[in-house]
Chain A
């Protein structure tokens, strides 16, 4: 086998190896830049419209983000299913917090809004500063406090 062929094969192999790495990174691109959906332009426009007015009400939340406590960083995509929060193993968000009850609270959608309801917890659920005593609508970006965990809804 001639030197030149081997040199070409060698360079080709390294190029293919790097192409593999780049392909792998592009598969997980959504991790870095968010999902690219067909409705992306519409969403962008909505976001631009919503930005000047920080007060929510416009648009529906798409994600529930844990912003404080041991589970910080967890993101749950909102669907039409209610989300249960508590220490029970079958809760959507399982807390390991001594201050949380096993079925602490639940979040459910109603008429385009998400409602938080305390399920008779021992230490209570707080929406911003006030204790949740009956089902209350949750605006975007307002923290819900359950024990040491803080969650909020985002678009």
Chain B
């Protein structure tokens, strides 16, 4: 480095080759799974295998090409990992559909996967610099709240399975809550970048905890009230827990103060007790959580533990190595294609397969958090941290729910469960992570010639 224009500094590797290889590997695994289902069900390779595999492979190749063109420094692992879970989800839905479940439809899910990849590429192409989102902090907050209350409006709102979280667009229905979480994470990130100093520094110390000032509690209390509102008005336990938990985690990332986590947990426990006293369906869930094997709870008509127990039975019959794809009985689990897809996968792939799936999810989250660490400005750090956390938190809530680790709340398993809105929203989330990892890993611009005191800036 003695003279400018000497040996060029080795640039960090882009790892595009590794990415393409892993992507092909992921598509290969999905095709193998598909063939396995066909062999087990009808003794033959399914007829649509070639078209199906080529379809998924073509979609992923398109996503890869867009990524290589518009985000060349992006993390090499995120896309292949997401491809694998999305593909395994598709195979499970196909398998459940073949098993005689009318509501499961693999072709619809494949269509939505395609739409998700279109959203992924559009996000990457349109959003060249994610810091543009910082300028839209309050717009994002407003959009998030509007999407949150949209299902409550007359005419367009719809109630299904006891939760009012749908809007009817005429040609199809949408779950705006899935997009709410993206908008709100953008809002939280922008808001906390602006306000974190006052939240982190003001206050006094009591015992081992730095207590914040009473007036700084405002944002926490407002988020708490909003998530309680979601719970009360939409009867949607999962989303309420998801939003509040994410806000607390981002507050902690921004301020590094344990007191916020403690306050958050206290508020959550308070809210949960209030909700438990006020609403019978919350009480039902809690009773089921404590004693799922109680015959009275198993057989009651409303809010029974039937679904949870069927899921647990399924995972038990899968054991360590599983029954094999296409050889289990997912038709015995209600909603096995959406909320309970993880137990259906658990029966057929066993503990071994579930652990691999969870590790794939963990790796996606790890890549996201890694992006947050490498990011060079606070907004990107908070946004990447928040998006990775919301993904991890959602997986924890639903997997913990179906395995009876925590009370069951209805949330989709990201990328696996059947559902268009969730797929679209999660692919946009992945596009944002990819965009940020591109910005974080991109080396600073190289001097073109001996420029002396002139500097090359990166915008």
Interface residues of A (CB under 8 A from B): 1, 5-7, 9-11, 13-14, 16-18, 20-21, 23-25, 27-28, 31, 35, 37, 60, 70-71, 73-84, 89-90, 92-94, 96, 98, 106, 109, 111-112
Query: Which of B9, B43, B325, B379 is in CB contact (< 8 Å) with A79?
Result: B9
Given A92-B444, A96-B193, are A18 and B352 also a contact pair (CB < 8 Å)?
yes
Total contacting residues, chain B, CB less than 8 A: 64
Given A6-B324, A21-B356, A74-B374, are A16 and B381 also a contact pair (CB < 8 Å)?
no
CA distance A28 to B371 in the complex (A): 13
Q: Which residues does chain B contribute within 8 Å of A79, judged by CB atoms?
A: 9, 443-444, 446
Q: Is B218 an interface residue (CB 8 A)?
A: no
Given A24-B363, A28-B367, are A14 and B352 also a contact pair (CB < 8 Å)?
yes
B363 contacts A25, C-beta separation under 8 Å: yes
Could you say which of A27, A78, A94 has the most chain B C-beta atoms within 10 Å of its C-beta?
Answer: A27
Q: Is B122 an interface residue (CB 8 A)?
A: no
B77 contacts A112, C-beta separation under 8 Å: no
CA distance A1 to B36 in the complex (A): 11
**Segment at the interface with A among B24-32, B234-242, B411-419:** B24-32
Q: A23-B25, A76-B444, A94-B376 are in contact. List 8 more A-B contacts (CB 8 A).
A: A20-B360, A23-B22, A24-B77, A27-B18, A81-B446, A81-B447, A96-B196, A109-B4
CA distance A17 to B81 in the complex (A): 11
Q: Which residues does chain A contribute within 8 Å of B356, judged by CB atoms?
A: 14, 17-18, 20-21
Least CB distance from A120 to B in Å reads: 15
Least CB distance from B91 to A in Å reads: 11
Q: Is B220 an interface residue (CB 8 A)?
A: no
Query: Which of A6, A27, A60, A77 is in CB contact (< 8 Å) with B77?
Result: A27
Least CB distance from A136 to B in Å reads: 17
A14 contacts B376, C-beta separation under 8 Å: no
Query: Which of B43, B360, B447 is in CB contact (< 8 Å) with A80?
Result: B447
* B 424-456 contacts with A by CB, 8 A: 443-447, 455-456
A13 contacts B33, C-beta separation under 8 Å: yes
Q: Is B12 an interface residue (CB 8 A)?
A: yes
Given A31-B370, A96-B377, are A82 and B43 also a contact pair (CB < 8 Å)?
no
A81 contacts B456, C-beta separation under 8 Å: yes
Q: A-B pairs with the 7 shortest C-beta distances?
A: A94-B377, A10-B324, A79-B9, A96-B378, A17-B356, A90-B457, A1-B43
Q: Which residues does chain B contribute within 8 Å of A94, judged by CB atoms?
A: 376-378
Q: Which residues does chain A contribute within 8 Å of B374, judged by CB atoms?
A: 74-75
Q: Which residues does chain A contribute within 8 Å of B25, judged by CB atoms?
A: 20, 23
A24 contacts B32, C-beta separation under 8 Å: no
CA distance A35 to B349 in the complex (A): 35
* Chain B residue with Cβ nearest A87: B377
Least CB distance from A102 to B in Å reads: 13
A9 contacts B360, C-beta separation under 8 Å: no
Q: Is B458 an interface residue (CB 8 A)?
A: yes
B376 contacts A93, C-beta separation under 8 Å: yes
Q: Is B459 an interface residue (CB 8 A)?
A: yes
Query: Which of B2, B26, B445 is in CB contact (< 8 Å) with A20?
Result: B26
Query: Which of A10, A25, A74 is in CB contact (< 8 Å) with B36?
Result: A10
Q: Which residues does chain A contribute within 8 Å of B360, judged by CB atoms?
A: 20-21, 24
Query: Which of A25, A73, A80, A82 is in CB contact (< 8 Å) with B9?
Result: A80
CA distance A14 to B351 in the complex (A): 10
B39 contacts A89, C-beta separation under 8 Å: no
Query: Which of B6, B39, B322, B373 is in CB contact (< 8 Å) with A1?
Result: B39
* B 335-370 contacts with A by CB, 8 A: 349-350, 352-353, 356-357, 359-360, 363, 366-367, 370
Given A6-B39, A10-B325, A94-B377, are A27 and B22 also a contact pair (CB < 8 Å)?
yes
Q: How does the 8 Å CB contact mask read for B373-408 relative to A, with 1 for contact and 0 for none?
A: 111111101000000000000000000000000000
B40 contacts A90, C-beta separation under 8 Å: no
27 contacts between A and B (CB under 8 A): A1-B40, A6-B40, A9-B36, A14-B322, A14-B349, A14-B352, A16-B32, A17-B29, A17-B349, A20-B26, A20-B84, A21-B356, A24-B22, A24-B77, A24-B80, A25-B363, A27-B22, A37-B10, A70-B378, A71-B376, A74-B375, A74-B376, A81-B444, A83-B444, A96-B379, A109-B4, A112-B1
CA distance A127 to B77 in the complex (A): 39
B2 contacts A111, C-beta separation under 8 Å: yes
Q: Which residues does chain B contribute within 8 Å of A27, judged by CB atoms?
A: 15, 18, 22, 76-77
Q: Is B321 an interface residue (CB 8 A)?
A: yes
B325 contacts A80, C-beta separation under 8 Å: no
CA distance A14 to B59 in the complex (A): 25
Least CB distance from A34 to B in Å reads: 12
Query: Which of A76, A80, A98 is in CB contact (< 8 Å) with B197?
Result: A98
A76 contacts B376, C-beta separation under 8 Å: yes
B376 contacts A80, C-beta separation under 8 Å: no
A13 contacts B443, C-beta separation under 8 Å: no
Q: Which residues does chain B contribute within 8 Å of A35, judged by CB atoms?
A: 12-13
CA distance A80 to B450 in the complex (A): 10
Given A6-B327, A81-B444, are A28 and B373 also a contact pair (CB < 8 Å)?
no
Least CB distance from B199 to A in Å reads: 12
Q: Is B329 an interface residue (CB 8 A)?
A: no
Q: Which residues does chain B contribute within 8 Å of A24, judged by CB atoms?
A: 22, 77, 80-81, 360, 363
